[in-house]
Amino acid sequence: MAPPANRRSGFSRRAQYTTFFSYTAGVLGAVLGLGLLAISLTNHDAFGPFRTIAADVTEPAAEAGAKTRVAGKGLVATVSGFFRTGTQQARLQRELDEAKSRLVQAQAIETENRRLKALLGLRDDNPGPVTYARLTASTGGSTRRFATLGAGRDRGVVKGMPVRSATGLVGRVLEVGASTSRVLLITDTESLVPVRRARDGVPAFAQGHGDGTIRIRLVNLGINPLRKGDVMATSGSGGLYRPGTPIAVVTELLRDGAIARVISNPSDTDYVLVEKAWALAEPPPLSSEPQAK
Amino acid sequence: MALLPRFGTPASAPRINRAPSSLVAHGLPWVTIVLGSMLPSWLMIASAPVLPPLGFLIFIAWRQLRPGLLPIWAGLPLGMADDLFSGQPFGSAVLLWSVAAIVLELIEARLPWRNFLTEWLVAIGLIVAYVALCLGIANLGGGSAPVRVVLPQIIISMLFYPLSGRFVAAMDRLRLKPIVVLR
Protein backbone atom coordinates (compact mmCIF):
# COMPACT_ATOMS: atom_id res chain seq x y z
CA MET A 1 0.00 0.00 0.00
CA ALA A 2 1.36 3.41 -0.91
CA PRO A 3 1.07 6.28 1.56
CA PRO A 4 -1.83 8.66 0.97
CA ALA A 5 -0.90 11.32 -1.57
CA ASN A 6 -2.34 14.21 0.45
CA ARG A 7 0.58 14.05 2.87
CA ARG A 8 3.00 15.39 0.26
CA SER A 9 3.00 19.13 0.72
CA GLY A 10 4.42 19.93 -2.73
CA PHE A 11 4.62 23.64 -3.55
CA SER A 12 1.65 24.64 -1.41
CA ARG A 13 2.82 27.09 1.27
CA ARG A 14 -0.19 26.27 3.39
CA ALA A 15 0.49 22.55 3.31
CA GLN A 16 4.16 23.15 4.10
CA TYR A 17 3.29 25.31 7.10
CA THR A 18 0.78 22.72 8.32
CA THR A 19 3.43 20.00 8.17
CA PHE A 20 5.97 22.22 9.89
CA PHE A 21 3.62 23.22 12.71
CA SER A 22 2.43 19.66 13.30
CA TYR A 23 6.05 18.52 13.69
CA THR A 24 6.73 21.47 15.99
CA ALA A 25 3.72 20.52 18.11
CA GLY A 26 4.96 16.93 18.28
CA VAL A 27 8.40 18.02 19.44
CA LEU A 28 6.80 20.38 21.97
CA GLY A 29 4.79 17.45 23.32
CA ALA A 30 7.99 15.44 23.76
CA VAL A 31 9.71 18.36 25.51
CA LEU A 32 6.71 18.85 27.78
CA GLY A 33 6.77 15.12 28.57
CA LEU A 34 10.44 15.41 29.51
CA GLY A 35 9.60 18.30 31.83
CA LEU A 36 6.72 16.40 33.47
CA LEU A 37 8.98 13.38 33.86
CA ALA A 38 11.68 15.48 35.51
CA ILE A 39 9.11 16.89 37.95
CA SER A 40 7.68 13.49 38.83
CA LEU A 41 11.14 11.93 39.25
CA THR A 42 12.28 14.64 41.65
CA ASN A 43 8.98 14.81 43.53
CA HIS A 44 7.20 11.45 43.57
CA ASP A 45 3.96 12.82 44.99
CA ALA A 46 3.65 15.71 42.52
CA PHE A 47 1.01 14.02 40.34
CA GLY A 48 -0.48 11.78 43.01
CA PRO A 49 -3.73 13.77 43.26
CA PHE A 50 -4.40 13.35 39.52
CA ARG A 51 -3.79 9.62 39.76
CA THR A 52 -6.14 9.23 42.70
CA ILE A 53 -8.83 11.29 40.96
CA ALA A 54 -8.49 9.10 37.85
CA ALA A 55 -8.74 5.97 40.02
CA ASP A 56 -11.79 7.37 41.82
CA VAL A 57 -13.51 8.17 38.52
CA THR A 58 -12.88 4.75 36.99
CA GLU A 59 -13.64 2.87 40.21
CA PRO A 60 -17.07 1.49 39.17
CA ALA A 61 -15.60 -0.07 36.03
CA ALA A 62 -12.62 -1.44 37.95
CA GLU A 63 -14.92 -2.84 40.62
CA ALA A 64 -17.02 -4.56 37.95
CA GLY A 65 -13.82 -5.94 36.45
CA ALA A 66 -12.75 -7.29 39.84
CA LYS A 67 -16.12 -8.99 40.33
CA THR A 68 -15.91 -10.59 36.88
CA ARG A 69 -12.38 -11.77 37.64
CA VAL A 70 -13.45 -13.40 40.90
CA ALA A 71 -16.51 -14.98 39.25
CA GLY A 72 -14.37 -16.37 36.43
CA LYS A 73 -11.93 -17.85 38.90
CA GLY A 74 -14.84 -19.34 40.85
CA LEU A 75 -16.21 -20.94 37.68
CA VAL A 76 -12.85 -22.55 36.87
CA ALA A 77 -12.55 -23.75 40.46
CA THR A 78 -16.05 -25.25 40.35
CA VAL A 79 -15.41 -27.16 37.15
CA SER A 80 -11.97 -28.41 38.19
CA GLY A 81 -13.29 -29.22 41.67
CA PHE A 82 -15.93 -31.47 40.13
CA PHE A 83 -13.22 -33.81 38.87
CA ARG A 84 -11.12 -33.83 42.00
CA THR A 85 -13.78 -34.13 44.67
CA GLY A 86 -13.03 -37.68 45.79
CA THR A 87 -9.30 -37.41 46.45
CA GLN A 88 -9.72 -33.92 47.79
CA GLN A 89 -12.38 -35.05 50.25
CA ALA A 90 -10.09 -37.80 51.59
CA ARG A 91 -7.16 -35.43 51.92
CA LEU A 92 -9.22 -32.74 53.61
CA GLN A 93 -10.62 -35.27 56.10
CA ARG A 94 -7.08 -36.29 57.00
CA GLU A 95 -5.97 -32.69 57.32
CA LEU A 96 -9.02 -31.76 59.37
CA ASP A 97 -8.30 -34.48 61.92
CA GLU A 98 -4.76 -33.22 62.20
CA ALA A 99 -5.87 -29.61 62.38
CA LYS A 100 -8.33 -30.33 65.18
CA SER A 101 -5.62 -31.60 67.48
CA ARG A 102 -3.37 -28.69 66.44
CA LEU A 103 -6.19 -26.28 67.25
CA VAL A 104 -6.44 -27.59 70.79
CA GLN A 105 -2.69 -27.17 71.17
CA ALA A 106 -2.88 -23.64 69.77
CA GLN A 107 -5.64 -22.70 72.18
CA ALA A 108 -3.55 -23.95 75.08
CA ILE A 109 -0.56 -21.97 73.85
CA GLU A 110 -2.68 -18.86 73.39
CA THR A 111 -3.98 -19.12 76.94
CA GLU A 112 -0.49 -19.55 78.22
CA ASN A 113 0.70 -16.63 76.11
CA ARG A 114 -2.00 -14.41 77.54
CA ARG A 115 -1.06 -15.45 81.06
CA LEU A 116 2.64 -14.83 80.48
CA LYS A 117 1.98 -11.49 78.80
CA ALA A 118 -0.19 -10.47 81.74
CA LEU A 119 2.69 -11.44 84.05
CA LEU A 120 5.07 -9.26 82.06
CA GLY A 121 2.63 -6.40 81.93
CA LEU A 122 2.50 -6.33 78.13
CA ARG A 123 -0.78 -5.50 76.52
CA ASP A 124 -1.90 -7.04 73.30
CA ASP A 125 -3.22 -4.15 71.26
CA ASN A 126 -4.72 -5.54 68.10
CA PRO A 127 -7.48 -3.11 67.20
CA GLY A 128 -8.68 -5.22 64.28
CA PRO A 129 -8.85 -4.19 60.64
CA VAL A 130 -9.70 -0.63 59.60
CA THR A 131 -11.72 -1.85 56.65
CA TYR A 132 -11.82 -4.52 54.00
CA ALA A 133 -12.11 -4.03 50.25
CA ARG A 134 -11.24 -5.52 46.89
CA LEU A 135 -8.06 -4.90 44.97
CA THR A 136 -9.70 -3.57 41.84
CA ALA A 137 -6.82 -2.85 39.48
CA SER A 138 -3.09 -3.18 39.15
CA THR A 139 -0.33 -1.96 36.87
CA GLY A 140 -0.03 -5.11 34.76
CA GLY A 141 1.95 -3.44 31.99
CA SER A 142 4.60 -1.70 34.06
CA THR A 143 7.60 -3.03 35.96
CA ARG A 144 6.32 -1.22 39.05
CA ARG A 145 3.79 -3.14 41.12
CA PHE A 146 0.98 -0.89 42.27
CA ALA A 147 -2.58 -1.96 42.90
CA THR A 148 -5.74 0.04 43.39
CA LEU A 149 -7.82 -0.69 46.46
CA GLY A 150 -11.56 -0.07 46.45
CA ALA A 151 -11.54 1.91 49.70
CA GLY A 152 -10.21 5.36 50.45
CA ARG A 153 -10.76 8.27 52.82
CA ASP A 154 -14.46 7.37 52.96
CA ARG A 155 -13.59 4.23 54.92
CA GLY A 156 -10.82 5.59 57.06
CA VAL A 157 -7.82 4.49 55.01
CA VAL A 158 -4.71 6.53 55.75
CA LYS A 159 -1.36 6.61 53.98
CA GLY A 160 1.07 4.00 55.30
CA MET A 161 -1.48 1.43 56.45
CA PRO A 162 -0.46 -2.18 55.80
CA VAL A 163 -2.74 -4.25 53.57
CA ARG A 164 -3.07 -8.00 54.08
CA SER A 165 -5.24 -10.84 52.93
CA ALA A 166 -6.45 -13.72 55.05
CA THR A 167 -3.25 -15.62 54.29
CA GLY A 168 -0.50 -13.02 54.33
CA LEU A 169 0.84 -9.54 53.71
CA VAL A 170 -0.10 -7.87 50.40
CA GLY A 171 1.42 -4.40 50.61
CA ARG A 172 0.94 -0.95 52.05
CA VAL A 173 -1.08 2.12 51.17
CA LEU A 174 0.82 4.79 49.24
CA GLU A 175 -1.76 7.36 48.15
CA VAL A 176 -5.31 7.79 49.39
CA GLY A 177 -8.16 9.12 47.28
CA ALA A 178 -11.80 9.76 48.05
CA SER A 179 -12.99 6.20 47.42
CA THR A 180 -9.87 4.38 46.23
CA SER A 181 -6.28 4.15 47.33
CA ARG A 182 -3.04 3.10 45.73
CA VAL A 183 -1.19 0.17 47.25
CA LEU A 184 2.50 -0.63 46.87
CA LEU A 185 2.57 -4.43 46.59
CA ILE A 186 5.32 -6.35 48.38
CA THR A 187 6.51 -7.69 45.01
CA ASP A 188 7.54 -4.19 43.88
CA THR A 189 11.28 -3.67 43.80
CA GLU A 190 10.94 -0.55 45.96
CA SER A 191 9.08 -2.37 48.73
CA LEU A 192 11.32 -3.40 51.62
CA VAL A 193 9.74 -5.30 54.51
CA PRO A 194 11.66 -6.24 57.66
CA VAL A 195 11.02 -9.94 58.22
CA ARG A 196 12.18 -12.83 60.37
CA ARG A 197 12.03 -16.56 59.97
CA ALA A 198 8.77 -17.60 61.61
CA ARG A 199 10.40 -20.61 63.31
CA ASP A 200 13.30 -18.98 65.13
CA GLY A 201 13.44 -15.31 64.23
CA VAL A 202 16.47 -15.09 61.89
CA PRO A 203 16.23 -11.42 60.83
CA ALA A 204 16.16 -10.41 57.16
CA PHE A 205 14.70 -7.97 54.67
CA ALA A 206 12.16 -8.99 52.04
CA GLN A 207 12.48 -6.97 48.86
CA GLY A 208 10.42 -7.40 45.72
CA HIS A 209 12.34 -9.05 42.91
CA GLY A 210 10.36 -7.60 40.02
CA ASP A 211 9.10 -10.92 38.63
CA GLY A 212 6.54 -11.77 41.30
CA THR A 213 8.97 -13.41 43.69
CA ILE A 214 10.63 -11.93 46.73
CA ARG A 215 14.32 -11.58 47.44
CA ILE A 216 15.22 -12.33 51.07
CA ARG A 217 18.34 -10.49 52.22
CA LEU A 218 19.79 -11.63 55.51
CA VAL A 219 20.79 -8.98 58.00
CA ASN A 220 23.59 -11.07 59.51
CA LEU A 221 26.02 -12.20 56.85
CA GLY A 222 27.92 -15.43 57.20
CA ILE A 223 26.65 -18.96 56.78
CA ASN A 224 23.21 -18.87 55.21
CA PRO A 225 20.90 -20.49 57.77
CA LEU A 226 17.85 -20.51 55.50
CA ARG A 227 16.40 -23.75 54.16
CA LYS A 228 13.88 -24.42 51.43
CA GLY A 229 10.35 -24.21 52.77
CA ASP A 230 11.14 -21.72 55.55
CA VAL A 231 8.27 -19.32 56.19
CA MET A 232 9.19 -15.67 56.59
CA ALA A 233 6.92 -13.40 58.62
CA THR A 234 7.02 -9.67 59.29
CA SER A 235 9.13 -8.74 62.29
CA GLY A 236 7.61 -5.35 63.05
CA SER A 237 11.01 -3.62 63.11
CA GLY A 238 10.65 0.02 62.29
CA GLY A 239 6.91 -0.02 62.89
CA LEU A 240 4.40 -0.04 60.01
CA TYR A 241 3.91 -3.80 59.56
CA ARG A 242 2.42 -5.70 62.52
CA PRO A 243 4.78 -8.51 63.56
CA GLY A 244 3.86 -12.07 62.74
CA THR A 245 2.11 -11.59 59.39
CA PRO A 246 3.32 -14.35 57.07
CA ILE A 247 4.75 -13.02 53.83
CA ALA A 248 6.73 -15.60 51.83
CA VAL A 249 8.08 -19.16 51.60
CA VAL A 250 11.72 -19.76 50.66
CA THR A 251 11.99 -21.64 47.37
CA GLU A 252 15.58 -21.15 46.24
CA LEU A 253 18.73 -20.48 48.24
CA LEU A 254 21.31 -17.87 47.27
CA ARG A 255 24.71 -17.11 48.76
CA ASP A 256 23.50 -14.23 50.92
CA GLY A 257 19.80 -14.94 51.19
CA ALA A 258 17.09 -16.60 49.20
CA ILE A 259 14.35 -16.25 46.63
CA ALA A 260 10.92 -16.69 48.16
CA ARG A 261 7.43 -17.21 46.82
CA VAL A 262 4.73 -14.84 48.04
CA ILE A 263 2.20 -16.59 50.29
CA SER A 264 -0.68 -14.28 49.58
CA ASN A 265 -0.77 -13.92 45.81
CA PRO A 266 -2.88 -10.79 45.31
CA SER A 267 -4.44 -12.18 42.13
CA ASP A 268 -6.00 -15.04 44.10
CA THR A 269 -7.43 -12.95 46.91
CA ASP A 270 -10.96 -11.68 46.80
CA TYR A 271 -11.00 -9.24 49.70
CA VAL A 272 -8.06 -7.73 51.53
CA LEU A 273 -7.91 -6.17 54.99
CA VAL A 274 -6.48 -2.75 55.71
CA GLU A 275 -4.88 -2.60 59.14
CA LYS A 276 -3.74 0.28 61.29
CA ALA A 277 -0.06 1.06 60.86
CA TRP A 278 1.72 -0.66 63.69
CA ALA A 279 3.85 1.60 65.84
CA LEU A 280 6.39 0.33 68.28
CA ALA A 281 5.58 1.24 71.87
CA GLU A 282 7.85 3.94 73.25
CA PRO A 283 10.59 2.41 75.37
CA PRO A 284 10.01 3.12 79.08
CA PRO A 285 11.90 6.18 80.32
CA LEU A 286 15.09 5.54 82.20
CA SER A 287 14.44 5.21 85.89
CA SER A 288 17.10 7.71 86.92
CA GLU A 289 18.84 10.64 85.30
CA PRO A 290 22.26 9.71 83.91
CA GLN A 291 24.81 10.58 86.51
CA ALA A 292 26.77 13.73 85.77
CA LYS A 293 30.44 13.38 86.47
CA MET B 1 -20.32 -10.54 13.37
CA ALA B 2 -21.58 -7.09 12.63
CA LEU B 3 -18.10 -5.60 12.41
CA LEU B 4 -16.98 -7.84 9.60
CA PRO B 5 -17.88 -6.60 6.12
CA ARG B 6 -20.35 -8.69 4.18
CA PHE B 7 -19.47 -9.63 0.64
CA GLY B 8 -20.30 -6.87 -1.78
CA THR B 9 -21.45 -4.36 0.84
CA PRO B 10 -18.48 -2.76 2.60
CA ALA B 11 -19.64 -1.40 5.94
CA SER B 12 -18.12 2.02 5.29
CA ALA B 13 -20.02 2.55 2.05
CA PRO B 14 -22.63 5.27 2.53
CA ARG B 15 -26.14 3.93 2.44
CA ILE B 16 -29.06 5.96 1.24
CA ASN B 17 -29.74 9.04 3.32
CA ARG B 18 -27.05 8.18 5.89
CA ALA B 19 -23.63 9.65 6.62
CA PRO B 20 -20.94 8.83 9.22
CA SER B 21 -21.14 10.85 12.41
CA SER B 22 -18.19 13.22 12.55
CA LEU B 23 -18.05 12.92 16.34
CA VAL B 24 -17.60 9.15 16.13
CA ALA B 25 -15.29 9.40 13.14
CA HIS B 26 -12.90 11.72 14.95
CA GLY B 27 -13.43 10.69 18.56
CA LEU B 28 -13.31 6.90 18.34
CA PRO B 29 -9.51 6.61 17.96
CA TRP B 30 -8.97 8.67 21.11
CA VAL B 31 -11.55 6.69 23.06
CA THR B 32 -10.12 3.31 22.03
CA ILE B 33 -6.59 4.39 22.95
CA VAL B 34 -7.63 5.64 26.41
CA LEU B 35 -9.64 2.45 27.00
CA GLY B 36 -6.60 0.47 25.87
CA SER B 37 -4.55 2.28 28.51
CA MET B 38 -7.05 1.39 31.21
CA LEU B 39 -7.82 -2.20 30.21
CA PRO B 40 -4.58 -3.98 31.27
CA SER B 41 -4.99 -2.68 34.81
CA TRP B 42 -8.44 -4.24 35.11
CA LEU B 43 -7.69 -7.66 33.65
CA MET B 44 -5.76 -9.08 36.58
CA ILE B 45 -3.83 -8.19 39.70
CA ALA B 46 -0.54 -9.00 38.04
CA SER B 47 2.50 -9.87 40.10
CA ALA B 48 4.88 -9.36 37.18
CA PRO B 49 4.76 -7.18 34.04
CA VAL B 50 3.10 -9.66 31.68
CA LEU B 51 0.38 -7.64 29.99
CA PRO B 52 1.21 -5.70 26.82
CA PRO B 53 1.09 -1.89 26.97
CA LEU B 54 -2.22 -1.98 25.14
CA GLY B 55 -2.71 1.79 24.91
CA PHE B 56 0.63 2.17 23.14
CA LEU B 57 -0.07 -0.74 20.78
CA ILE B 58 -3.43 0.73 19.75
CA PHE B 59 -1.83 4.18 19.41
CA ILE B 60 0.78 2.84 16.96
CA ALA B 61 -1.84 0.76 15.15
CA TRP B 62 -4.04 3.83 14.57
CA ARG B 63 -1.09 5.84 13.35
CA GLN B 64 -0.04 3.07 10.97
CA LEU B 65 -3.52 2.43 9.64
CA ARG B 66 -4.59 6.07 9.29
CA PRO B 67 -1.40 8.16 9.30
CA GLY B 68 -3.04 11.57 9.29
CA LEU B 69 -5.99 10.87 11.57
CA LEU B 70 -4.29 11.48 14.91
CA PRO B 71 -2.15 14.63 14.98
CA ILE B 72 1.53 14.24 15.84
CA TRP B 73 0.93 15.97 19.18
CA ALA B 74 -1.71 13.36 20.14
CA GLY B 75 0.93 11.71 22.34
CA LEU B 76 0.64 14.60 24.78
CA PRO B 77 -2.99 14.20 25.95
CA LEU B 78 -3.13 10.45 25.33
CA GLY B 79 0.18 9.88 27.11
CA MET B 80 -1.11 11.88 30.08
CA ALA B 81 -4.16 9.61 30.26
CA ASP B 82 -1.93 6.54 30.02
CA ASP B 83 0.38 7.79 32.78
CA LEU B 84 -2.55 8.05 35.18
CA PHE B 85 -3.14 4.30 34.97
CA SER B 86 0.15 2.71 33.92
CA GLY B 87 2.08 3.03 37.19
CA GLN B 88 5.02 4.66 35.44
CA PRO B 89 6.33 8.02 36.69
CA PHE B 90 4.02 10.71 35.31
CA GLY B 91 5.32 12.07 32.01
CA SER B 92 6.97 8.89 30.81
CA ALA B 93 4.23 8.04 28.31
CA VAL B 94 3.88 11.71 27.26
CA LEU B 95 7.55 11.73 26.29
CA LEU B 96 7.72 8.24 24.75
CA TRP B 97 4.44 8.44 22.82
CA SER B 98 5.34 11.85 21.36
CA VAL B 99 8.77 10.59 20.30
CA ALA B 100 7.21 7.40 18.90
CA ALA B 101 4.74 9.44 16.83
CA ILE B 102 7.56 11.55 15.37
CA VAL B 103 9.72 8.50 14.65
CA LEU B 104 6.79 6.75 12.99
CA GLU B 105 6.09 9.83 10.87
CA LEU B 106 9.73 9.98 9.73
CA ILE B 107 9.83 6.26 8.94
CA GLU B 108 6.60 6.51 6.96
CA ALA B 109 7.94 9.40 4.90
CA ARG B 110 10.97 7.30 3.97
CA LEU B 111 9.22 3.98 3.30
CA PRO B 112 7.08 4.56 0.24
CA TRP B 113 5.68 1.06 0.07
CA ARG B 114 4.38 -0.77 3.06
CA ASN B 115 3.03 -4.19 3.76
CA PHE B 116 2.05 -6.24 6.78
CA LEU B 117 5.58 -7.43 7.48
CA THR B 118 7.31 -4.04 7.31
CA GLU B 119 4.61 -2.47 9.48
CA TRP B 120 4.96 -5.24 12.02
CA LEU B 121 8.76 -4.92 12.02
CA VAL B 122 8.56 -1.15 12.53
CA ALA B 123 6.06 -1.70 15.34
CA ILE B 124 8.30 -4.36 16.92
CA GLY B 125 11.19 -1.91 16.93
CA LEU B 126 9.04 0.73 18.59
CA ILE B 127 7.62 -1.75 21.14
CA VAL B 128 11.04 -3.07 22.18
CA ALA B 129 12.38 0.45 22.56
CA TYR B 130 9.24 1.54 24.44
CA VAL B 131 9.25 -1.31 26.96
CA ALA B 132 12.99 -1.00 27.55
CA LEU B 133 12.77 2.77 28.06
CA CYS B 134 9.75 2.33 30.34
CA LEU B 135 11.84 -0.04 32.44
CA GLY B 136 14.67 2.50 32.55
CA ILE B 137 12.34 5.32 33.56
CA ALA B 138 10.63 3.19 36.22
CA ASN B 139 14.04 2.31 37.63
CA LEU B 140 14.99 5.99 37.70
CA GLY B 141 11.79 6.59 39.66
CA GLY B 142 12.66 4.24 42.49
CA GLY B 143 12.39 0.71 41.11
CA SER B 144 15.32 -1.63 40.53
CA ALA B 145 13.91 -4.31 38.24
CA PRO B 146 16.40 -6.20 36.03
CA VAL B 147 16.00 -6.38 32.25
CA ARG B 148 15.00 -10.07 32.24
CA VAL B 149 11.73 -9.11 33.96
CA VAL B 150 10.40 -7.40 30.83
CA LEU B 151 11.42 -10.08 28.32
CA PRO B 152 8.07 -11.94 28.54
CA GLN B 153 6.23 -8.65 28.16
CA ILE B 154 8.24 -7.72 25.07
CA ILE B 155 7.50 -11.07 23.41
CA ILE B 156 3.81 -10.97 24.33
CA SER B 157 3.52 -7.40 23.02
CA MET B 158 5.27 -8.25 19.76
CA LEU B 159 2.93 -11.16 19.12
CA PHE B 160 -0.09 -9.21 20.28
CA TYR B 161 0.49 -6.28 17.92
CA PRO B 162 -1.17 -7.78 14.80
CA LEU B 163 -4.23 -8.55 16.92
CA SER B 164 -4.47 -4.96 18.09
CA GLY B 165 -4.06 -3.99 14.43
CA ARG B 166 -7.10 -6.14 13.57
CA PHE B 167 -9.00 -4.52 16.42
CA VAL B 168 -8.13 -1.06 15.15
CA ALA B 169 -9.20 -2.05 11.62
CA ALA B 170 -12.57 -3.19 12.99
CA MET B 171 -12.88 0.07 14.92
CA ASP B 172 -12.02 1.97 11.76
CA ARG B 173 -14.95 0.35 9.97
CA LEU B 174 -17.19 1.13 12.92
CA ARG B 175 -15.88 4.70 12.88
CA LEU B 176 -17.10 5.29 9.33
CA LYS B 177 -20.43 3.54 9.68
CA PRO B 178 -23.16 5.79 8.25
CA ILE B 179 -25.41 6.36 11.23
CA VAL B 180 -26.46 10.00 10.98
CA VAL B 181 -29.69 10.61 9.06
CA LEU B 182 -29.29 13.31 6.43
CA ARG B 183 -32.11 15.79 6.04
**A182-226: pLDDT as tens digits:** 999 999 988 899 999 888 888 899 999 888 899 999 988 788 888
Q: Give the ipTM of the model, two decimals please.
A: 0.82
Kindly indicate the confidence band of residue B54, based on its pLDDT and cuts at 50, 70 and 90: very high
Answer yes or no: is pLDDT of B162 > 90: yes
Answer yes or no: is pLDDT of A71 > 80: yes
| Mean pLDDT over the full length of chain A | 84
pLDDT of residue B47: 80
On chain A, the residues whose CB falls within 8 A of the CB of B117 are none
CATH architecture of structural domain A131-274: Beta Barrel (2.40)
CA distance linking residue A210 with residue A185, whole number of Å = 11
* Partner A, chain B 42-71, Cβ-Cβ below 8 Å: 42-54, 67-68, 71
pLDDT of residue B8: 46
Residues above pLDDT 90, as percent of chain A: 18
Cβ-nearest to B47 among A7, A22, A212: A212
Tens digit of each residue's pLDDT (9 = 90 or more) over A264-293: 887 777 789 998 887 765 655 666 555 444
Nearest CA to B73 among B109, B38, B99?
A: B99
Cβ-nearest to B143 among A1, A65, A144: A144
Looking at chain A, the domain(s) classified CATH 2.40.10.340 span 131-274
For residue A59, the tally of other CB atoms under 10 A from its CB is 20
* Residue A220: exposure state from Cβ atoms within 10 A (0-12, 13-18, ≥19): exposed
On chain A, the residues whose CB falls within 8 A of the CB of B95 are 30, 33-34, 36-37
Check: CB of residue A72 under 8 Å from CB of residue A80. Answer: no
Q: Looking at per-residue confidence, does B15 or A150 come out higher?
A: A150
CA distance linking residue B82 with residue B63, whole number of Å = 17
Rounded to an integer, the average pLDDT of A111-138 is: 81
Answer yes or no: is pLDDT of B80 > 50: yes
Kindly indicate the confidence band of residue A15, based on its pLDDT and cuts at 50, 70 and 90: confident
Name the strand (E) or helix (H) holding B163.
Answer: helix B151-175
CA distance linking residue A1 with residue A286, whole number of Å = 84
Amino acid at B157: S
Residues above pLDDT 70, as percent of chain B: 92
Tens digit of each residue's pLDDT (9 = 90 or more) over A30-60: 999 999 999 988 888 888 888 888 888 888 8
pLDDT of residue B170: 94
Kindly indicate the confidence band of residue B124, based on its pLDDT and cuts at 50, 70 and 90: very high
Greatest Cα pair distance, chain A, in angstroms, is 94
Nearest CA to B101 among B127, B123, B121, B73?
A: B73
* Partner A, chain B 126-155, Cβ-Cβ below 8 Å: 134-135, 137-146, 148-150, 153
**Do A189 and B93 count as a contact with CB atoms less than 8 A apart?**
no
Phi-psi region of A244 (alpha: psi -120 to 50; beta: other; left: phi over 0): left
Separation in Å, CA of A90 to nearest CA in chain B: 33
